[in-house]
Amino acid sequence: MSKRPDTKETVLLALELMRRIPRNGLVTAKELHEQLADTEVSRDLRTIQRQLEMLSEHFDIERDDRSKPYGYRWKSCSQGMGVSILSEQEALLLSLAEQHLRGLLPASLIKTMDGFFVQARKNLEPYNEDKGKREREWLKKVRVVSTTQPLLPPKIKPGVFEQVSNALYANQWLNVDYENAAGKRTDADVMPLGLAQQGPRLFLVCRFKGYDNERTLALHRIISAQASTFTFERPKDFDLEKYDNDGRFGFGNGKRIKLTIVLDKENGYHLLESPLSKDQQVQKLDGDLYQITATVVNSAMLDWWLRGFGDALHSSIKENLSEKIV
């Protein structure tokens, strides 16, 4: 016989459900059940359905029973619960977080935050000329800009990000059906280790089952993904920051070289402000030229960057005490 929940547990479940019911849009019992799956107040679907029925009878919660599954939301005249007390500054912070972190947070967490995101947007709507005016204006005053030609993000198959991010969050094995750039498809179990956003694209760093080296998979090339119920112990020898610093996302293998380039002042001055490395050295040459020397990761991205200077670049790469012209 299952243990009957005590009053405290019942109240906590009710509060958690009320916190997750939106003011705009509808949420179903199944969606709330999924949101609570990894929390301390996780309950079976039928229990959540009963709680929602009770809450809709005693609170300003509207049940849309025109079709199944039923949807729930706070009535328009209601202030809702919890999220309505967001200050303008908190609403601004949440709006910025939604814009720039949505692709880097686990899908389960995004779902739990949706109510806050909706209320943050509501708080910043121009329904009041004075309240939140400066916070609304701030959203139009800041922007993250691209350092390369702007590209639209590739489309990720439905459900892929949710499965990938949840498996990464819970250290669960992940089965993927992956098609590489050459059109070759692979079905494999992988150990998700990291998620990275590079420009408009998202990449999964993982290890294939039976191997101890890392691979990088583009999320938009994953045909389908399914998180397993089996978990793994995260490898102690893997560090996502080091993986990035080794130039892995720039198609390098971690090998560092001493790079020496000569640029005119117009093309090279920005490197005095944003150095290539901590050991960068700059020497002024005749003719308004800069000779810049730095230790960098040898990668395809470095080659692309150097070629972008075109005829303005006079350079050589010193590798293993031998020189080769780029």
Residue-wise pLDDT tens digits, 68-120: 899 998 887 665 554 455 677 777 777 787 777 777 777 777 776 776 777 77
What is the rounded average pLDDT of the residues 35-63?
A: 86
Tallying the residues shown for the chain, one arrives at 326
| pLDDT on residue 190 | 97
Q: What share of the chain is helix, strand, coil (3-state, %, to 5)?
A: 35, 30, 35
**What are the backbone angles phi and psi of residue 154, rounded to the nearest 5°?**
-70, 155
pLDDT tier at 195 (50, 70, 90 boundaries)?
very high
Residue 226 CA to residue 275 CA, distance in Å, equals 42
* Residue written as token pair 């102690």: 236
Whether residue 258 has pLDDT greater than 50:
yes
| pLDDT on residue 57 | 84
Range 7-81 classified under CATH 1.10.10.10: yes
**What are the backbone angles phi and psi of residue 224, rounded to the nearest 5°?**
-155, 155
Whether residue 5 has pLDDT greater than 60:
no
What is the rounded average pLDDT of the residues 7-30?
A: 81
Residue 21 CA to residue 10 CA, distance in Å, equals 17
Residue 72 CA to residue 57 CA, distance in Å, equals 12
CATH topology of domain 250-325: Alpha-Beta Plaits (3.30.70)
* Residue written as token pair 């039928």: 46
Average per-residue pLDDT for the chain: 82
Closest CA to 188 of 159, 209, 166: 209
Closest CA to 22 of 32, 11, 36: 32
Give the range with max mean pLDDT: 210-224, 237-251, 288-302: 210-224
What is the rounded average pLDDT of the residues 215-224?
A: 95
Is 194 within 8 Å of 214 (Cβ atoms)? no
Whether residue 8 has pLDDT greater than 90:
no
Adjacency order of strands within the sheet including 27-28: 27-28, 71-74, 61-64
Residue 144 CA to residue 45 CA, distance in Å, equals 41
| pLDDT on residue 218 | 94
Q: Hey, what amino acid is at 132?
A: G
Give the range with max mean pLDDT: 140-149, 247-256, 262-271: 262-271
CATH topology of domain 160-245: SH3 type barrels. (2.30.30)
> At 201, which helix (H) or strand (E)?
strand 201-208
272-281 pLDDT, tens per residue?
Answer: 999 999 999 9
Q: Which residue has the higher pLDDT, 133 or 224?
A: 224
Global pTM reads 0.62
| pLDDT on residue 324 | 35
| pLDDT on residue 95 | 79
Cβ neighbours of residue 143 closer than 8 Å, sequence gap 6 or more? none
105-160 pLDDT, tens per residue?
Answer: 777 777 767 767 777 777 777 654 555 677 778 877 877 777 777 888 899 999 99
| pLDDT on residue 239 | 92
What is the rounded average pLDDT of the residues 285-292?
A: 88
Is 21 within 8 Å of 115 (Cβ atoms)? yes
Whether residue 204 has pLDDT greater than 90:
yes
Q: Hey, what amino acid is at 14?
A: A
Instruction: Parse the chain into domains and list their residue ranges.
Output: 7-81, 84-139, 160-245, 250-325
3-class secondary-structure state, position 307: helix
